[in-house]
Structure 1
Amino acid sequence: MRIDSWGEHKPIMRKILSYFALSLSLSGMFAGSALAQGGSFPDWLRNFKSEAAREGVSQQTIDAALNGISPIQRVIDLDRKQPESKIGFAKYKSNVITQGRIDEGRSLLRQHWNDLKRIESQYGVPPQYVVALWGMETSYGKNTGGFDVVDALATLAWEGRRAEFFKKELLDALKIIDQGHTSADNMRGSWAGAMGQCQFMPSSFRNFAVDYNGDGRKDIWGTRADVFASAANYLSKSGWKHDERWGRKVSAPAGLPKGLETRKTISEWAKLGVKQVDGSPLPKSDTMMASLVVPEGGNGEAYLAYDNYRVIMKWNRSIYFATSVGLLADLIAKGAPTPLNQ
Structure 2
Amino acid sequence: MRALSVAALAALAFGIGSARAAQCGDSPEGFKAWLEDFKQVAINDGVSPDVVDSALTNANFDPSVLAHDHGQAALQGNYAAFAARHITPARIKRGKTMLVAYAEPLDRIEQRYGVPGPVLVAIWGLETDFGSGLGSYPTFSALATLAYDCRRGNLYRAELIDALMIVQRGLLTPSQMRGAWAGELGQTQFMPSAYLKYGVSSNGGRGGNLIGNSADALASTANFLQAHGWQRGAKWDEGQPNFAAILEWNNAPIYAKTIGEFADRLAEP
The TM-score, its normalising length taken from structure 2, stands at 0.86
Alpha-carbon distance, 1:214 to partner: 7.4
One-letter amino acid matched to 1:246 = W
Partner of 2:245: 311
Distance in 1 (CA, whole Å) between partners of 2:44 and 2:104 is 44
For structure 1, which runs of at least 5 residues remain unmatched after alignment?
1-30, 248-303, 336-342
One-letter amino acid matched to 1:313 = L
Distance in 2 (CA, whole Å) between partners of 1:178 and 1:206 is 11
Partner of 1:5: none
Partner of 2:54: 64
Structure in which a larger fraction of residues adopt helix: 2
Partner of 1:239: 229
The RMSD of aligned alpha carbons is 2.1
Per-residue CA deviations over 1:196-242 (Å, capped at 9, x if unaligned) read 11111111111111123578752111101111100000010001011
Residues 27 and 63, structure 2, Cα contact 8 Å, conserved in 1 = no
Taking structure 1 as reference, are residues 50 and 42 closer, same or farther at Cα in structure 2, changes over 3 Å only? same
Taking structure 1 as reference, are residues 188 and 242 closer, same or farther at Cα in structure 2, changes over 3 Å only? same
Alpha-carbon distance, 1:86 to partner: 4.3
One-letter amino acid matched to 1:317 = N
Distance in 2 (CA, whole Å) between partners of 1:133 and 1:84 is 17
Structure with bigger RCO (C-alpha 8 Å, 6+ apart):
2
State the aligned residue count. 246
Alpha-carbon distance, 1:243 to partner: 1.7
Taking structure 1 as reference, are residues 228 and 85 closer, same or farther at Cα in structure 2, changes over 3 Å only? closer
Alpha-carbon distance, 1:320 to partner: 1.4
Per-residue CA deviations over 1:82-105 (Å, capped at 9, x if unaligned) read 636943222111111111111101
Structure in which a larger fraction of residues adopt strand: 1
Partner of 1:190: 180
- Find 1:330's aligned residue among 221, 240, 264: 264
- Find 2:65's aligned residue among 71, 75, 82: 75
* Equivalent runs, 1:23-42 vs 2, <5 Å: 33=26, 40-42=30-32
- Find 2:85's aligned residue among 72, 79, 95: 95
For structure 2, which runs of at least 5 residues remain unmatched after alignment?
1-23
Distance in 2 (CA, whole Å) between partners of 1:189 and 1:59 is 24
Taking structure 1 as reference, are residues 92 and 71 closer, same or farther at Cα in structure 2, changes over 3 Å only? same
Identity %: 37
* Equivalent runs, 1:208-247 vs 2, <5 Å: 208-213=198-203, 217-247=207-237
Distance in 1 (CA, whole Å) between partners of 2:89 and 2:101 is 18
Taking structure 1 as reference, are residues 331 and 175 closer, same or farther at Cα in structure 2, changes over 3 Å only? same
Alpha-carbon distance, 1:41 to partner: 1.4
The TM-score, its normalising length taken from structure 1, stands at 0.68
Partner of 2:191: 201
Partner of 1:159: 149
Distance in 1 (CA, whole Å) between partners of 2:195 and 2:178 is 13
SS class of match (1:329): helix
Residues 213 and 225, structure 1, Cα contact 8 Å, conserved in 2 = no
Distance in 2 (CA, whole Å) between partners of 1:319 and 1:216 is 30
Distance in 2 (CA, whole Å) between partners of 1:102 and 1:239 is 27
